[in-house]
Amino acid sequence: MIPVPSGVRIWIATGHADMRKGMPGLSLLVQEHFKRDPFAGDVFIFRGRGASLITCLWHDGLGLSLYANYLASHCSSFRWRLAS
């Protein structure tokens, strides 16, 4: 469990992102897609194409962190609804 301070906004990218991008590429996606500063302290969540990988990008005030987690096999059909 990562302790995220209260008041931190969590942004979820709908659709899928290229998980090969890493921190620089995902930071650029945050700037272009969300029109937000990736270093402002918000958490940005991305999903891989296969819906089995979730990646979070977060600047905690000390540095930018990238957290990735593969979903368990019983969650492999996890789908996000597209924004309307």
Residue 39: per-residue pLDDT: 92
Per-domain residue ranges of the chain: 10-75
**Residue 46 burial (CB < 10 Å; 0-12/13-18/19+)?**
buried
Residue 36: per-residue pLDDT: 93
Encode the chain (84 residues) as per-residue pLDDT tens digits: 667 778 889 988 877 788 788 889 999 989 988 899 999 999 999 887 777 788 899 998 889 988 888 876 655 555 666 655
Look up the CATH number of domain 10-75: 3.30.505
Strands (E), 1-84: 10-12, 43-47, 53-59, 64-70
Of 62, 47, 78, residue with least CA distance to 5: 62
* pTM assigned to the model: 0.78
**How far apart are alpha carbons 55 and 21 in whole angstroms?**
11
Residue 60: per-residue pLDDT: 85
